[in-house]
């Protein structure tokens, strides 16, 4: 077995014993919970698309370990074309779900570990890469979904991990034995954590010698004893508890974030990929960040396509699709969206082979890509809200539409162009709300700012990756100035 279907994926989640709390209550079966289900539907698309002959070259690849056909989300990039296909696949899935489909983080963690475990072994004589390759083969063969867990709570940001008043504010090793390690701490904002089979933990920052117990990377099944999940709230999430469809905006798909608590979780050595080698914490953080910032050039462009389409449709329902200012705003939305995608393709095409054999994106361009994402979706949302009008914030509920007394007035007064139904107009307005201010905001607008690092994180990397001296020499040569 190498590629499972969406239905098989959903079924595989039922066999776990997840310790999960949502809205203050323990959830017995996440698969059936109405707030969680849309996010599971989104992940299922990543499995089903691998069985569609139309998208086979994008959604699947051959394992470089076994030659077995596998889902691309579990593939280790072997060429620049692999990197390009990744971005194209993510855009396609964004278009199909209009939401976060949650498998990018795990994919990026796998590729980062394939590089850094190799480099660690080469320098220190460890056996992390062999352990990782065994784990990777297991993931590929079972077609598992992995959650990449990097972000720690951090506590007092002015202090290093080992300086915190509470030492658990960064995840750390609290015990070592001949059998493995025991870890304690938490990871925040974890995309798709509840929907994953495996949790891959990585350090969140550069560590020093005094922080070596925080320099830890490992993988553990999502239902491991000691793991506790607290589900993250989303705007308007209680709408999913009702029987409304229109008010959801996106009637089937959604994203997911969770807080994970590691309450003295045991990890066997065969699942440990870094344990105190602090000098490799930063390469792992940096490599993962480069891959994940590339990812945003695909998924955010795909969701942007949906938002642009919804905005254009509403303009049509309002009877103003040819108004010059409307057309110009939609052109601007398209320009910004394609710029995001272009950066994703550029950093992929400029990727190079590392010593491990894995291809890595151009890290400068991947940071440029994500830095654009911290800005452009906000402007795309602003323009969508401008064109859609105030109804996205004041629209009455679907139940009012269905009520005989109030529904007739909504049909009458909320109708736009005569040829278009009132319901169609309301559905499109709800979708715009979902993507820009409501249920889907965490997967598009807010995540665009903070996902894969805040804007300042990219600016730091852009400064580090830019060869200013080279640019100076170019200018000096043309100006006739002797280089210093």
Nearest Cα neighbor of 273 from 118, 154, 151 is 118
How would you classify the pairing of strands 198-201 and 272-275? unpaired
Q: Active-site residue among 147, 236, 299, 347? A: 299
pLDDT per residue as tens digits for the range 45-101: 999 999 999 999 999 999 999 999 999 999 999 999 999 999 999 999 999 999 999
304 lies in the same domain as 273: no
- First CA to last CA distance, the chain: 62
Respond yes or no: is residue 104 known to be catalytic: yes
pLDDT for 235: 86
210 lies in the same domain as 291: no
CB 339 within 8 A of CB 297: no
312 lies in the same domain as 274: no
**Structural domain contains residue 356:** yes
Q: Active-site residue among 77, 197, 292, 371? A: 292
CB 198 within 8 A of CB 147: yes
Q: How much is the pTM?
A: 0.96
Respond yes or no: is residue 347 known to be catalytic: no
Whole-number Å distance between alpha carbons of 34 and 220: 27
Q: Active-site residue among 291, 296, 341, 444? A: 296
pLDDT for 244: 86
pLDDT for 454: 87
270 lies in the same domain as 312: no
214 lies in the same domain as 300: no
67 lies in the same domain as 209: yes
362 lies in the same domain as 378: yes
CATH of the domain at 409: 1.20.140.10
Respond yes or no: is residue 236 known to be catalytic: no
Boundary of a domain, candidates 278, 296, 313: 278
Q: Is the dihedral of CA 158, 161, 164, 166 positive or negative?
A: positive
**Structural domain contains residue 473:** no
Q: Active-site residue among 55, 60, 97, 100? A: 100
Boundary of a domain, candidates 218, 252, 278: 278
The total number of structural domains that make up the chain: 2
Respond yes or no: is residue 296 known to be catalytic: yes
82 lies in the same domain as 231: yes
Boundary of a domain, candidates 257, 278, 299: 278
CATH of the domain at 180: 2.40.110.10
**Structural domain contains residue 350:** yes
Respond yes or no: is residue 299 known to be catalytic: yes
Which residue range forms the structural domain that includes residue 438? 284-467
**Structural domain contains residue 251:** yes
33 lies in the same domain as 68: yes
**Structural domain contains residue 153:** yes
| Residue 411, Cβ density class (10 Å: 0-12 exposed, 13-18 middle, ≥19 buried) | middle
Q: What are phi and psi of 264, to 5 degrees?
A: 55, 65
**Structural domain contains residue 480:** no
**Structural domain contains residue 482:** no
Average pLDDT across each block of 10 residues of the chain; the chain has 484 residues. List them in order.
93 95 97 96 98 98 97 98 98 96 97 98 98 98 98 97 98 98 97 97 98 98 98 91 91 95 98 98 98 97 97 97 98 98 98 98 98 96 96 96 98 96 97 80 76 91 96 96 88
**Structural domain contains residue 396:** yes
pLDDT for 15: 85
Q: Active-site residue among 213, 257, 316, 398? A: 257
262 lies in the same domain as 289: no
Q: Active-site residue among 75, 104, 341, 363? A: 104
214 lies in the same domain as 321: no
pLDDT for 310: 98
263 lies in the same domain as 293: no
451 Rama sector, left if φ>0, alpha if ψ -120 to 50, beta otherwise:
beta
């Amino acid at each position: 077995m190498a590629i499972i279907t969406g239905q098989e994926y959903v079924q595989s989640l039922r066999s776990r014993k997840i310790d999960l709390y949502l809205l203050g209550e323990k959830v017995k079966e996440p698969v059936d919970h109405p707030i969680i289900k849309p996010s599971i539907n989104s992940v299922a698309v990543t499995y089903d698309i691998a069985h569609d002959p139309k998208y086979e070259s994008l959604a699947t690849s051959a394992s470089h370990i076994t030659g077995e056909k596998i889902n691309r989300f579990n593939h280790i990039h072997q060429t620049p074309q692999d990197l390009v296909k990744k971005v194209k696949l993510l855009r396609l899935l964004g278009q199909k779900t209009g939401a976060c489909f949650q498998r990018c983080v795990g994919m990026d963690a796998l590729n980062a570990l394939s590089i850094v475990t190799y480099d660690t072994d080469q320098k220190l004589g460890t056996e992390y890469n062999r352990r990782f390759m065994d784990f990777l083969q297991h993931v590929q063969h079972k077609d598992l979904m992995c959650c990449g867990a990097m972000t720690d709570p951090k506590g007092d940001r002015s202090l290093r991990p080992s300086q915190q008043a509470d030492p658990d504010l960064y995840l750390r090793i609290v015990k070592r034995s001949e059998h493995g390690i025991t870890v304690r701490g938490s990871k925040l904002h974890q995309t798709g954590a509840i929907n994953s089979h495996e949790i891959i933990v990585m350090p969140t920052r550069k560590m020093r010698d005094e922080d070596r117990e925080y320099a830890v990377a490992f993988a553990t099944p999502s239902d491991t004893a000691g793991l506790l999940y607290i589900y993250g709230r989303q705007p308007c999430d209680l709408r999913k508890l009702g029987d409304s469809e229109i008010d959801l905006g996106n009637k089937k798909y959604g994203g997911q974030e969770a807080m994970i608590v590691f309450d003295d979780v045991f990890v066997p050595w065969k699942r440990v990929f870094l344990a105190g080698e602090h000098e490799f914490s930063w390469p792992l953080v940096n490599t993962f960040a480069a891959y994940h910032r590339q990812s945003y050039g695909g998924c955010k462009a795909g969701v942007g396509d949906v938002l642009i389409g919804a905005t254009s449709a509403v303009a049509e329902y309002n009877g103003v699709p040819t108004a010059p200012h409307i057309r110009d705003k939609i052109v601007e939305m398209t320009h910004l969206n394609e710029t995001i995608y272009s950066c994703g393709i550029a950093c992929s095409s400029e990727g190079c082979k590392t010593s491990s054999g894995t291809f890595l994106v151009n890290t400068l361009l991947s940071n440029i890509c994500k830095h654009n994402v911290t800005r452009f979706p906000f402007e795309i949302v602003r323009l969508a809200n401008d064109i859609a009008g105030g109804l996205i914030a004041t629209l009455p509920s679907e139940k009012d539409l269905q009520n005989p007394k109030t529904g007739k007035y909504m049909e009458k007064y909320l109708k736009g162009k005569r040829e278009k139904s009132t319901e169609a107009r309301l559905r499109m307005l709800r979708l715009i709300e979902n993507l820009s201010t409501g249920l889907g905001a965490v997967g598009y607008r807010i995540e665009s700012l903070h996902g894969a690092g805040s804007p300042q994180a990219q600016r730091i990397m852009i400064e580090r990756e830019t060869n200013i001296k080279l640019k100076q020499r170019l200018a000096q040569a043309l100006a006739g100035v002797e280089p210093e």
